[in-house]
Structure 1
Amino acid sequence: MQVTANELAIRRARPEDAAAIAEIYTQGILERIATFESEPRTPEVMLAWLAERDERHPVLVAERDGRVLGWASISSYRPRACYAGVGEFSIYLHRDARGQGIGKVLLGALIDEVRRLGYWKLLSRVFPFNTASRRLCAALGFREVGVYEKHAKLDGRWLDVVIVERLIPENLT
């Protein structure tokens, strides 16, 4: 079943979302499909992470019927001022919410948010075998610009990552 934008509430994360965000992130960590992180996250850790966020580095959640089904965030790309308009994004969906179009709505909302915030580029790194994330990025106008070979080890195994980027043309003036 595909979801439409009006079936979901997309909003900024609140402190009370920390447990759901931790659960969703921990699924991604344990499944070894989306991150080099290897330790599960607790609600307390994610609450502290949320508290560190500012207006320029939001976390959005996708919610349906009061349940958080996914989250997406923007982090600083590099600390130098020349990169202030480049944001690095993460997106994670609850395993029960995958394949329904929720990621497309959530990432689309994140793109709208970075446009509003004045970013000119959004980027991320994706495991080559994470075909769902690569398809999602392609569907929303991201291009694959290269591969970092043997970027880091996960469970003692070197993994490559595919670099994806999307320009925000309105902010390139």
Structure 2
Amino acid sequence: MDYKIEKMLVRDWEQVARIYLEGISTGKATFQTDVPSWEVWNNSHIKSCRLVARLNDNILGWVALSPTSSRCVYAGAAEVSIYIETGYRGKGVGIALLTEVIRASEQEGFWTLQSGIIKENTASIALHKKCGFRELGIREKIAKMPTGKWHDVILMERRSKVVGIDNSKR
């Protein structure tokens, strides 16, 4: 498959939103229940480090970062969101996107990437581990879906080896 990892453009939003909705529909990719408008999504995500996997005019998946806090001391920490179209899961698209957003985030000065992944989303947990994330712990029954089902969330983190503190002495 000859796709390219490229910067997400505003014109990609319709396809990005469709893939996001696929993730929402699984009930294990996010606690979000509806796709927000472009304006809401755009304002809640960091302007850099928004990428898509593009095959011709088709978006196969996307990744973006959002701030973990508005406090300046957390300026180098970001939350990862990654979604892959159903037909392209398990084909390396996620690894390519996550690897590239890690590279791009380090160029932008991010020293920590984190993810909170619903425990049942074992594919996403495995993807993050393949890309150097480690499990920090579990937040038990942290969120209750509108259906009444409670979910645990696995906290995962990747610390940069090139930005921020010297991780070699940990």
Output the CA distance in 2 between the equivalents of 1:53 and 1:129.
Answer: 25
Q: Which runs of 5+ in 2 are unaligned?
A: 166-170
**Which residue of structure 2 aligns with residue 20 of structure 1?**
15
Output the CA distance in 2 between the equivalents of 1:18 and 1:107.
Answer: 19
Counterpart of 2:33 (choices 38, 47, 50) is 38
Percent identical residues: 35
Counterpart of 2:111 (choices 113, 116, 120) is 120
Report the Cα offset of residue 46 of structure 1. 2.7
Output the CA distance in 2 between the equivalents of 1:76 and 1:149.
Answer: 23
Indicate the RMSD between aligned Cα atoms, in angstroms.
1.6
Report the Cα offset of residue 102 of structure 1. 0.4
Report the Cα offset of residue 37 of structure 1. 1.0
Paired residue secondary structure (2:162) = helix
Q: 1:132 to 1:120 in 2, by over 3 A?
A: same
Report the Cα offset of residue 14 of structure 1. 0.8
**8 Å contact kept, 1:122–1:166:** yes
Where in structure 1 do 4 or more consecutive aligned residues deviate above 3 Å?
Answer: 50-56
**Which residue of structure 2 aligns with residue 156 of structure 1?**
148
Q: Which runs of 5+ in 1 are unaligned?
A: none
Report the TM-score when normalising by structure 1: 0.88
Report the Cα offset of residue 48 of structure 1. 5.2
Paired residue secondary structure (2:138) = strand
Output the CA distance in 2 between the equivalents of 1:140 and 1:54.
Answer: 21
**Which residue of structure 2 aligns with residue 141 of structure 1?**
132
Amino acid at match of 1:145: L
**8 Å contact kept, 2:118–2:151:** yes
**8 Å contact kept, 1:15–1:50:** no
Report the TM-score when normalising by structure 2: 0.90
Report the Cα offset of residue 47 of structure 1. 5.5
Amino acid at match of 1:13: M
**8 Å contact kept, 1:21–1:46:** no
**8 Å contact kept, 2:46–2:67:** no
**Which residue of structure 1 aligns with residue 89 of structure 2?**
98
Amino acid at match of 1:28: G
**8 Å contact kept, 1:15–1:47:** no
Q: Deviations over 1:131-150 (max 9, x none)?
A: 11011011011000001111
Paired residues, number: 164
Tell me, yes or no, if structure 1 residue 50 matches structure 2 residue 42: yes
Aligned runs of 1:63-78 on 2, under 5 Å?
Answer: 63-78=54-69
Report the Cα offset of residue 73 of structure 1. 0.5
